[in-house]
Amino acid sequence: MDLHYKSTRDSNVNVTASQAILAGLAPDGGLFVPNYIPSLDVSLDELKSMDYQQTAYAVMKQFLTDFTEEELKDCIEKAYDDKFDTESIAPLVKIDNTYYLELFHGATIAFKDMALSILPHLLTTAAKKNQADNEIVILTATSGDTGKAAMAGFADVEGTRIIVFYPKDGVSKVQKLQMTTQKGNNVDVVAIHGNFDNAQSGVKAMFEDRELAKELNGKGIQFSSANSINIGRLIPQVAYYVYACAKLLENGEIKEGEKIDVVVPTGNFGNILAAYYAKKMGLPIDKLVCASNENKVLFDFLKTGTYDKNREFVLTSSPSMDILISSNLERLIYLITGEDSEKTKALMEALKQNGRYEISDDMYEKLSDITGGYATEEQTADEIKRVYEKTGYVIDTHTAVASYVCNKTCSDDKKCIIASTASPYKFVKSVMTAIDKKYTDADEFALLETLCEISKTQMPQAIKDILDAEIIHTAECDVDKMKETVKNILSL
C-alpha cells in the first residue's frame, strides 16, 4: 500500500512524500501527516547489527515511498558522513543506570543536525522528482538550534535560499554567534524584537498568505520550511529512536520484546512526536515522557487536557524549549480526534483566536501512553551538578530537564533512554555555573577550556569555528515587519 500525506486540516488533500517535503506546510495551514503509520518490516533483532545509515534507510523507506532506493540511500549517505564527529552518528551512552542518546555529534552540536543534515538532500531530490523549476526559499523560525543547523545544511545548496528569524534576546551567546557568523551566498539571518512564538507565528502567517505566494510564484520563487512542521524534518528523527532500541538489544541491555521508557526534552513537540511514531511502528516503548522547562504548556496540557498559551513567557537556561505554541502537537491532536480534520481545524482556530483549546474526554484517553514532567530552573541546575558529581558526565541544560524528569517519573525496574539534545559546550555558562557558582561572573568563552578539563572531552569543531569568526549578519526587525523584511531580502 502506497503511503501518501494528508493535511491535518483537510483530509481531501492527498500528496506524495516528495510533494509534502517540497511544500513544507499544507495550503490550508495544516501539517502534512501520513495516511497511516507504517510498521517496521525488519525485526529489532535484525536491526541490531545495522549501522546508523542502514537503520535510517529501514525507517525512512517506509514513509518516503515515492523516493527510489537509490535516491533515498544517496540522501542518507550524503547526510550522515564525516560531518558527524563519531562513526556511530548517535551514540547511546550508559551513565549510571540511565542511557543518554547523544544527538549532538553533528556540525552544529545539537539534535537538529540529525534531520537537517538530510533535509536539503531530500528537498532538492523532491524538487527534481516534481519538475519544480522555482527557486526554493527556506523560511524558518528558530529558538536557537534549528536556525544554525538549517543554515549549515542549506548554505550554498544550488537552487535554494534560506531566511532564518530568531528572538534577539532568546538564545545563548554561542547559539547567536553560530547563526550570525554563518557563511553562504544564499543565507540571511534576522533577529526579531520578540520571542520564538512571535517568530514562528510570523513564519506560518507568510506560508498561509495566498497573495504573497502568488507574488513569489510570479518571480519564480516558492517557500518551503526547515522547521519540524516539514514532514521531511520529522521522519528522519524517527530513525534515531529505532537505532537506540536496536543498540540496547545488541549490547544485551534489553531482551527481545522488553519494554523501555523514553524521556524527551521538548518545546515544539517534534522530537517526542518522532518517538511516538517510532512506538507506533513497533518499537518496544512503554511510556513516552514529555519533559518541559518552566514554560510548561505541554506538561499542563498532558495533565489537564487543556492547552493554554495565555501565560507568562519565561526565558530559561534551556532556550530551545522556551515555546508556548507547540506546532507539532497538531499532528498528535489529529490522530486522537480519529483523524478528523474538521475537529482539528476548529481546535487550531480556537488556539489562534483565544490562545487555548480543550480536548474531549475520549481524546484525552488516547493520550495514555504519553505522560509529562517539568523542571524548574533551580532543579535543572541541581541536576547538572548531581549527574556530574556522581558520574563525571556533563550534560547540557535541555538534557538536564529530561534527566530530572526521568528520575521523578520513571521506575527503576525499566530501562530508560533520555534524548540528549545538545552539547554542554553550547550552553557552557549555564552548565558551568550549575556545577560551581564560582563561575557565575566568568566570561562565557573563557569557560570553554574549563569545560574541556572537567568533562575530559575535546572542544567541538563547531565551537572552535566561531571563536574568531567574523559576524556577517546584523539585521533586526520588529515582529510586524517580518513579511516586509522577507520581501526586501528577495527584492520583491
| Pairing status of strand 306-308 against strand 356-358 | antiparallel
Backbone angles phi, psi at 265, to 5 degrees: -75, 125
Backbone angles phi, psi at 282, to 5 degrees: 125, 5
Backbone angles phi, psi at 145, to 5 degrees: -100, -40
- Identify whether the C-beta of residue 50 lies closer than 8 Å to the C-beta of residue 15: no
Nearest alpha-carbon partner for 182 in 157, 151, 160? 151
The span from the CA of 286 to the CA of 1, in Å, is 28
**Helical packing angle, 146-154 and 119-129, nearest 10°:** 50
Q: Give all strands (DSSP E) within 168-309, no chain letters.
A: 187-193, 221-224, 260-265, 285-292, 306-308
The span from the CA of 341 to the CA of 346, in Å, is 9
CB-side neighbour CA atoms (13 Å) of 361 = 0
Query: In this structure, how many other beta carbons lie within 10 angstroms of the beta carbon of residue 465?
Result: 14
Helices (H) and strands (E) in the chain, counts: 22, 16
Backbone angles phi, psi at 358, to 5 degrees: -130, 130
Joined grid coordinates for residue 13: 488533500
Cβ neighbours of residue 193 closer than 8 Å, sequence gap 6 or more: 168, 476, 477, 478, 479
Residues with catalytic function: 112
Joined grid coordinates for residue 24: 513544507
For residue 275, the SS3 value is helix
Angle among Cα 415, 417, 422 to the nearest 5 degrees reads: 160
Longest Cα separation, the chain: 61
Nearest alpha-carbon partner for 169 in 394, 464, 455, 476? 476
Residues 7/69/49/456 CA torsion (nearest 10 deg): -70
Buried b (16+ CB within 10 A) or exposed e, 67-97: beeebbbebbeebbeebbeeeebbbbeebee
- Identify whether the C-beta of residue 26 lies closer than 8 Å to the C-beta of residue 348: no
